[in-house]
A and B are shown apart, each in its own frame.
Chain A
């Protein structure tokens, strides 16, 4: 719980809103358009049309002979415009090997089931276009979690950490059924928690985090971000906020973060995780100063 681990100011997240704007995917897209990158991209897509895509998929099953030793299987999948990595593994499963196992559900980046390690980076398979990847496309389960089978990892530890921050609204004064009076919240405060509330629990951030890899008790970026959502919400009382900060400044809490930004980089919902963690560090310091 020592504050000495705080990182030097220089490593903090950029806070200039214009700088953030310049990094948004939107602007990046526009910049690409202007620079003509789109032409190259569409050429690349055209090249792929009618071709097959080569994917290499991690395989492991603890109880099936020949799969107990992890290996990679190669699949060649016919390419169609707009095809994603998820489409490719579904095709491989349905057409070539029905035992190929992975989680997936909504296909539109809200259920958070299909975060894999794709070409060396944590990504959601359903929102990763094949045309943007080098071939062969290497698809592995999320690192730093136990593999259950093929691309399925044990999410138990991730869920435990999410639950450890008391991830629920705490308002002891909730009126009874008869008078559920509306609590007010300013649009600014709502905006403040907006990005943090977009988390889909995919686990990409936790898997990318070196600290979490080395410290199994570290809460990790997703859980801290979840706590941020509540701590910053004005509808909860100051007392509860202090309670939340006490949880977060424990030994395996916010101070473990070394601002490497890997979580922020891989987050499929563009949540500024590192910034949120730094902000909570500052809040924790402020709180402690108050009591000194």
Chain B
């Protein structure tokens, strides 16, 4: 058994930042990640880091823009914390040597981004995430923080009091991918989940293959509510064959979208008469799919993004990496032909419910980054707001886990009886357990309310070893790839940009089928050495749980807010829906409930206004 004060799960932007912060606060800290840190998906972020750095800009403006962009589903204390901390945390990266793009006078460059009232997106070329990731990994190396890379975290070791708010987390169980060993990691002070997004729940996504919502699923099954899971951002310009992202920068520079008739549909069909191609991501994504649905798509699948008119010089100067992406991943030369694009799953606004200090309702369990929902993005994330979230809340979670006092949080966590519940009569099938064996569940089956952390951890390790044995012993059944692909297809077919009650119900039925099929899942590869078949099989179970929460949220929220659109009620319904959708696992019987959004900031209240640009 390994033992550290703070254990950070996942080594992307939020995880690295949390580990550095915990280490600086004096904790013996370890990073445990299924990837080597530099492989993390933070590295794919292109845009930048929003931070009010300049004279004339102000954190309050950043907070205002973020609240408006969230369609008033962000919690003001979280949003204000983000805006207040971002400048200092961005400067810290500069001091760690991050190669930001520079102005003639040597100061860091900032550029305008959608939805911002001031050009405050700090960037490092079109590879901001790559530099952020590598710069922070360098600092982890400098500090000698222990990294267990290619260790796949399978589960948390938590107590199992009846009320999840009474539970404690004492560590994790992880699987050494290289050797197949399963070991316990005892966390004396805290576990920080920083496992990234759940994009692989969808068939067409810009997310990495490793974005499988592991942290979401582990926290959820241990008793932490998942918040606002229905809010998924679809990026309007991803390449059709792979989902590789074509940056918003192309449209920012003047790129134009055409349908199969050669019409500039954003204007000609009135989707966005003012901003055209630069309307917010959800508007453009819906417009593209409407074109395809009405028969004006190309190959019945995508539209064209044309940048040829910008001229070779400008394209090579500012969008060079786009040429490489289009050529390498789609076989298209952006200088001589338009690029095919369609909407792709891109970002999850929701996630593991935390407060401003990254803490969940389970003592000793934290979450930060895309897997967490503080919530700063609410219904829709602004471009350039994901990276500051990683560094601000990664830092806070790391510090708090290490025992630093960050003050009382204003955001509450966990279910407390007096909260509004959803009537589940409308669910087409019973979500949840579906006859899954107890051994698959997260909470300690016999852990009880024990304070004996070591014993708890040992039992958790045994349970995971059993689980792996069973998966490896079976010789027949269904393989995870079949289930995963069915799940992904259902999500992209029915819980995509356009959502209807009937469609989402169909998705829930298919998710339930996936659960049932998963009972017969087996791992064909008998090897203990680098058994990715086994790892992917466990990930697929996580994806099922996470996809179900996305679909449940999409079903109950009958309104149009931010990235979530419902055919039956195509307007924002502030009277009924200024509240977060919460899904609790409840020992295998998911329940949906709501928590009011907090619009009161430190000094002012953010009154909901129309989100128009």
Contact = CB atoms under 8 A, between A and B. Distances in A.
A33 B333 CA distance: 10
B46 to A, nearest CB: 9
A285 interface: no
A25 B530 CA distance: 36
A107 B239 CA distance: 12
Interface string B457-489: 000000000000000000000011100010000
B420 interface: no
Interface string B35-46: 110111101100
B540 to A, nearest CB: 12
A235 to B, nearest CB: 7
Contact of B242 (A93, A107, A168): A107
Nearest to B147: A159
A289 interface: no
Interface string A64-106: 1000000000000000111110010000011101110111111
A171 interface: yes
A201 B141 contact: no
Contacts of B131: 197
A152 interface: yes
A112 B331 contact: no
A230 B239 CA distance: 35
A131 B329 contact: no
B533 A185 contact: no
A214 B311 CA distance: 48
Given A108-B329, A148-B178, A148-B530, A113 B94 contact: no
B524 interface: yes
Interface in A144-159: 148-150, 152, 155, 159
A229 B127 CA distance: 16
Nearest to A61: B527
A175 B480 CA distance: 51
Nearest to B536: A98
A62 B142 contact: no
Contacts of A12: none
B94 A167 contact: no
Contacts of A94: 481, 485
A63 B527 contact: yes
A187 interface: yes
Contacts of B106: 184-187
A184 to B, nearest CB: 3
A168 B527 contact: no
A64 B527 contact: yes
Contact of B104 (A26, A108, A187): A187
A157 to B, nearest CB: 13
A200 B134 CA distance: 9
B138 A167 contact: yes
A4 interface: no
Given A108-B242, A183-B95, A155 B108 contact: no
A152 B323 CA distance: 30
B527 A235 contact: no
A65 B108 CA distance: 57
Nearest to B532: A101
B406 interface: no
Contact of B208 (A62, A111, A127, A194): A111
A98 B39 contact: no
B359 interface: no
Interface in B504-528: 523-528
A95 B479 CA distance: 10
Contact of A131 (B97, B331, B533): B331
B44 A81 contact: no
A84 B92 CA distance: 39
Contacts, number: 192
Contact of B39 (A62, A102, A105, A183): A105
A159 B479 CA distance: 34
Interface residues of A, number: 75
Contacts of B35: 105, 111, 113
Contacts of B331: 45, 81-82, 129, 131
B530 A112 contact: no
Contacts of B485: 94
B62 interface: no
A183 B323 CA distance: 33
B241 interface: yes
Contacts of B451: none
A15 interface: no
Interface in B145-177: none
A98 B525 contact: yes
A29 interface: yes
B486 to A, nearest CB: 12
Contacts of B91: 180-182
A107 B130 contact: no
Contacts of B600: none
A105 to B, nearest CB: 4
Contacts of B105: 184
A200 to B, nearest CB: 7
A107 B530 contact: no
A54 interface: no
Interface in B270-317: 316
B43 A111 contact: yes
A109 interface: yes
B1 interface: no
A185 B245 CA distance: 30
B576 interface: no
Contacts of B138: 167-169
A180 B92 contact: yes
B139 interface: yes
Contacts of B481: 93-95, 98
A62 B529 CA distance: 8
B241 A81 contact: yes
Contact of A33 (B208, B328, B336, B526): B336
B493 interface: no
B162 to A, nearest CB: 39
Contact of B324 (A25, A126, A129): A25
B101 interface: yes
Contact of B95 (A148, A174, A233): A174
A194 B125 contact: yes
Contacts of A229: 99
Interface in B342-372: none
Residue among B101, B105, B134, B325 with the highest chain A CB neighbour number at 10 A: B134
Given A26-B316, A105-B35, A187-B102, A111 B40 contact: yes
Interface string A132-170: 000000000000000011101001000100010011110
A223 interface: no
Nearest to A189: B102
Given A33-B336, A129-B328, A187-B103, A110 B44 contact: yes
15 contacts: A61-B529, A80-B241, A82-B329, A101-B532, A105-B35, A105-B208, A108-B242, A150-B530, A155-B36, A168-B97, A181-B91, A186-B102, A187-B103, A190-B102, A200-B43
Interface of A: 25-26, 29-30, 33, 38, 45, 61-64, 80-84, 87, 93-95, 97-99, 101-113, 126-127, 129, 131, 148-150, 152, 155, 159, 163, 166-169, 171, 174-175, 177, 180-187, 190, 193-194, 197-198, 200-201, 229-230, 233, 235-236
